[in-house]
Amino acid sequence: MKTSSEPRHDWHIRPAQPSDAGPICRMIAELAEFEHLTHLMEVTPETLASHLFGATPAAEALVAEDRTRDILIGYALFFSTFSTFLGRPGLWLEDLYISPEYRAQGIGRALLTAYIKLAQERGCGRCEWSVLDWNKNAIALYRASGAEILSDWRIVRMDSEGIGRYLEGKS
C-alpha cells in the first residue's frame, strides 16, 4: 500500500521494443517541430526500427510509457561512442523528448537518470549530449543534474550531400 509520502507515477521507463518504432517516430516529428527542423526529418518507423532493432543496431532507446493510457509519452535515444583520451566507451544522447502534456512531472529527469545509469553499468567514461542554446528548460534540467555545458566545443556536421561532394572532390 502506498503512503502519501511515496511518489505515485502513472508512467514507467523501459527499453524500447520493435512495436515502439511508430510512436517514437511520432515523437521525433514533435521534436522536429519544437526545434523548427521539420524540413530535415526523413525518418520513418521502418527505417527507425531497422536501426534500433536490426541485425547491427546503430542506436538504442528508452521509452516512458503512460500506464493508464498505454501510450508512449517520451523517449531517450542514444548510441555508443569512444573516448581515446579515456580509453573507454561512452554514450551519446541524441534525443531526450517528453510529450508537452507530460512535461514537468519528472519524466525527463527519470529518462536522463536511466540513460546515465546505463552508462555507468557499461563502464562508460562519459555520457554526452548537446542542447540548443535557446532551450532554457533543458539547460536548467541538465545544470541541476550536475552536467557541465561546454562552451568551447562546437558540433561539426557533414550531411549526406556534403559527404557526396567531399568524396567526389567538389568541396
| Banded model confidence at residue 8, pLDDT cuts 50, 70, 90 | low
Does 65 fall in a domain? yes
Q: Which letter, b or e, does each residue of 37-62 get, where b requires 16 or more Cβ atoms within 10 Å of its Cβ?
A: eeeeeeeebeebbbbbbeeeeeebbb
Report CA 54 to chain centroid distance, whole Å: 19
Does 49 fall in a domain? yes
> Across all residues in the chain, what is the average pLDDT?
92
Its domain, for residue 26, covers: 11-129
Does 99 fall in a domain? yes
Does 137 fall in a domain? no
Note the pLDDT tens digit of each residue in 63-75: 999 999 999 999 9
Task: Tell me how many domains the chain contains.
Answer: 1
Does 97 fall in a domain? yes
What spatial distance separates the first Cα and last Cα of the chain, rounded to whole Å? 65
CATH code, domain with 21: 3.40.630.30
Does 156 fall in a domain? no
Note the pLDDT tens digit of each residue in 86-141: 999 999 999 999 999 999 999 999 999 999 999 999 999 999 999 999 999 889 98
Does 157 fall in a domain? no
Task: Report which of 12, 22, 28 is spatially closest to residue 105, judged by C-alpha positions.
Answer: 12
| Banded model confidence at residue 3, pLDDT cuts 50, 70, 90 | very low
Q: What pLDDT is recorded for position 2?
A: 41
Tell me the whole-structure pTM to 2 decimals. Answer: 0.89
Note the pLDDT tens digit of each residue in 17-60: 999 999 999 999 999 999 999 999 999 999 999 999 999 999 99
Catalytic pick from 97, 115, 142, 166? Answer: 142
Question: In the block, which residue shows the cell 525527463?
Answer: 108
Active site residue 97: no
Does 113 fall in a domain? yes
| Banded model confidence at residue 154, pLDDT cuts 50, 70, 90 | confident
In which element (H, E) is residue 105 found?
none
Q: What pLDDT is recorded for position 9?
A: 75
